[in-house]
Structure 1
């Protein structure tokens, strides 16, 4: 095994870039001269990763209309990357999330004798259970971020290791709420609502308008409430335009990035379903989960859904600990009413907030492992096999 192995990686969108960056920390601690290239974002680039394409190229919403519009581009990128990796033959390919892109690429590379690792088990326990066969063909090893996943994969003959969730180590068990508020210019007594409409273009298209309409209703009911939106840089101008269209200029503040600071500072969050909901849970924040997508994407997803929950906090807790308002249920009025319940609970039902914080702290503890080290050790075994 080389003392400085060559590794190829692909991470899609902001959450995958964050996970891959944390993984690179562990790999570089084990192999300081590690060479890594592929598709990645700014978190990976900061660690010396050679980005052949930016991870934003893979950020698509749903799996019907938007994917179909961009299918030729995505297949072209995958074909070019596959041909390059087959020529260069890295020691291992690591696909970070983005299963629709990565699993097919992994299958081709593995068939050609290149070792493959998939980081983040696709949610076969939530929907699209048929994907397990594709995982078996594609990955020599799967790095799992939830504790129940290795046993599930083992039943299908897939080698896997539980490495914990990297975010559980990044986010402190007791967030510095006062420091976050000071950094954002909020007073300790301010009531702060964070709005997170997603990090993908189509999420902003479908989710931001009802979220901002709900914010307008909340503002009418509680004029003193402060609203803040952490926006990914590429979508910030679009989000600011939607804020103006909703008549909320001067009411809703949009900041570049800083989602963790915003979640640490807020009293509650109106948030799009996805990894961000787990981040909100790790920050122990009450939330209302909303989501909306193209009707065809929603119809296809519902047909393959295996659990009654969509949001990760509810899936991991096994019950509706926070409200979910999905598709037609995600009306501005319903989103407003559910959010107001959390804001009012701060004054009238503090025990409700405390119980949620305790539940989320237990979840945090269950996900906290030395992820970078465990993942690097599992990858080392794959390289040595």
Structure 2
């Protein structure tokens, strides 16, 4: 068991808000975290994928009225979208009785669908928190290679061998394609979606080219958009948007696309060992995506991530706008040489970056050139944690 940093965020949210929605893909550890919280206070747990637990909530108010004073944990809450109106009434009733915080912890696997269901019913009564996969500052710097290769899903990362880890990820992909996605409504052939997901892995970190993807799959660009939105909603793919505030520059306007978990990238491409990964063309994009997910997870709540690229070639891999409007320009390189191109410095001037970092594969924290600092990933995570 690895202590999850997000546990503190959930506890603070429960202390200040009536309901907390914890979002994340399946198998990321939401239930384990929730049950750990349940051990610390009077609680009741229902898994809404189980028929027996759904039957309990056929008349939700009758059951929930009896649970006043307890934390009610509802897992896979998107399975009962009609429940949100009852929760609103329950929260308001409890407030009148003096129970203002820590009433409900809702766990969900589909972000936008769940947000849409709950936005109107629970407006002003709920806080949303996204739970990432395991991160480097949770497992330790000495496990960096394992975390990058296997990804951050706990069962994959903690598997007894590389072969067992790969087998877990294959099962995970199969389950999503054959059971979970169809259960959300879309009728997409599993083989088609698997090919699409694999195409995204091959192009890890590249600009979205919907026309090329559509041609490769033999579908329309609109269909590609639908497939992509689905995987983004499930928090399995990241749409990294371009920075857009330089009116005088010709900026690239297409988003960059990343499969969010590096272990899934490698499973989709059949890369089961570090040797096969390091010899594959995707190694640079995989490392970049791995670093971006760790850095975004470490950044303060409310941080906005972007990338920057001009038609002239000036580029920044990751731009972070922190909540206090401080702008960080971060270059990511799978190299031990602490050097960046002139295009990075020009781009940092364009966006008026307050801090410039090179996250590289070396072990030293060293000054480079023109106010640039070259640091390992773990040190960059620590810097963001301190903000």
Whether TM exceeds 0.5 here: the answer is no
- TM-score normalised by L of structure 2: 0.39
Report the structure, 1 or 2, having the larger helix content. 1
